[in-house]
Structure 1
Amino acid sequence: MDGVVQAWVSGWVVSRGAAPPEREPWGFTVDVGQVAQVSRHVFDALGDGVDEELVRKVAAGVTGAGVWLKVFQDPSVVGGWLGEGWWVDPEPGYLMTVPLTARQERPAAPAGYRLRTWSTGGVTRVLVAAPDGSLAARGQVAPTGATAVFDQIETVAAHQRRGLGSLVMRTLQAVAARTGAETGVLAGTPAGRALYESLGWHVEAPLTSAKFVGPDGA
């Protein structure tokens, strides 16, 4: 899919309330404004198209803790490109996409669970509450025209294997399709990949997440 990284970045900043992305020769810089994530540099090449020298150059220019790199290549590859002071998540993420249609199914919650959906600031959120009122599952989607970014999908451990992750995703996909979005985009974890693939999502590229923690590793 052409422009998939730009689509992900554009939707992610809406979903998280981050600053508008700044275009760079190699991708995008996004200011997030949190101690754990001050900003992030996102490279727009995928897989074998990622330029090692560019990644090394950008990483070498980072001096402040809390700056992240997002590189669409496997961590076993990218980790060897980064110098002292970088923490690299050993598990790869996955940039994934799915076609959206106006006929997306919007299922009902299982007996005893309560499903609620609301929209604020261009982001639609889904909450699944457990029978006792506690959080069971959640997720959100940020449509930005032809694409929609799915984000913060979570099922609480005690409520897994009950179809709640599928419920959240199908609900969000239906919402996004009704806005006119034609393609869903997300950055998934290894744990979530099987769920997304069962719903028709396709892996576009692996994703490395690296954080600069400083020479002392603080």
Structure 2
Amino acid sequence: MIDFWTPVSGSRAGEVVADWVWGWALSRGAPDPVTEPDGYRIDVGLPEHRVRYVLPDPSSVGPRAAELTEPGTWLKVCGSPEQVRAGLSSRWTIGAPEYLMSTELGTHPPTIPPDPYTLELRSTGDVHDAVVRTAGGECAAKGRVAVRGGAAVIDMVETDPAHRRRGLGSVVMSELTHVASVRCAVRAVLVATEAGLALYEKLGWTVESPITAAHLAAAPTLR
């Protein structure tokens, strides 16, 4: 468990936050982020994820949340669940701990998947998807990288439960960092769940900040 906290504004971690915000929007096909006095806003536009605010300092949670009432509003805060909960009413649902992580990119040769798996890369502009497939063509593991300038954001990395503990997550990460390096990115950023933290640390990634998500869910429909 990571239990430290250092405000990220104006620091290297603040630059990592900015890299993540812009790369995440690119990865998800969302509009460019809007800079706010307390962080960033992304108008995602989905019914259950209408808008996302990324706040580098947990002290801004209370003032920002006081203005927000619409279901589908999300906060992503550089702080622990305890710090974020202190600024929120009971209407907000708080997610499990996450971690903002980064790594410097150098020469990253891709890793060949073990038999009988094969690796497929699909690119659309600056967004690249790596998919590990079974002999029958099913998706066993996948991930995405969005490259913007010198920064790359790793996103949506997932291994099918039936194919875990076979090194496929490492294969996907190796391919994504290789693609980012070839396209001149010098740093990669991601947000890890608790389950993914050990893998990324093993691969040389460093935790920059804890991340806590909170959202306003729609009220249940009465029947």
Give me the whole-angstrom Cα distance separating, in 1, the residues matched to 2:120 and 2:80: 37
CA distance in 2, matches of 1:147, 1:174: 13
Alpha-carbon distance between aligned partners in 2 of 1:201 and 1:147, rounded to the nearest angstrom: 14
1:201 aligned to 2:213? no
> Which 4+ runs in 1 deviate beyond 3 A?
none
Q: Following TM superposition, by how much is the alpha carbon of 1:105 offset from its aligned partner in structure 2, in angstroms? A: 2.1
| Equivalent residue runs for 1:5-154 within 5 Å | 5-45=17-57, 50-51=58-59, 54-89=60-95, 91-101=96-106, 103-154=107-158
For residue 19 of structure 1, give the secondary structure of its aligned residue in structure 2: coil
Name the amino acid aligned to 2:68: V
**Number of residues of Structure 1 aligned to a counterpart in Structure 2:** 209
What TM-score does the superposition give when structure 2 sets the normalisation length? 0.90
Q: Please, which runs of 5 or more residues in structure 2 have no aligned partner?
A: 1-11
Aligned equivalent of 1:156? 160
Q: Identity percentage over the alignment?
A: 42
Q: Which moved more, 1:183-192 or 1:113-122?
A: 113-122
Q: Conserved in 2, the CA contact under 8 Å of 1:70 and 1:208?
A: yes
The offset of 1:217, in angstroms, is: 6.1
Q: Judge which range, 80-89 or 22-31, deviates more.
A: 80-89
Work out whether residues 48 and 217 of structure 2, in 8 Å CA contact, stay in contact via their aligned partners in 1: no
Q: Normalising by structure 1, what TM-score?
A: 0.92
RMSD across aligned positions (CA): 1.2
- Is contact 1:6-1:44 (8 Å) kept? no
Q: Say which SS state the counterpart of residue 3 (structure 1) adopts.
A: helix
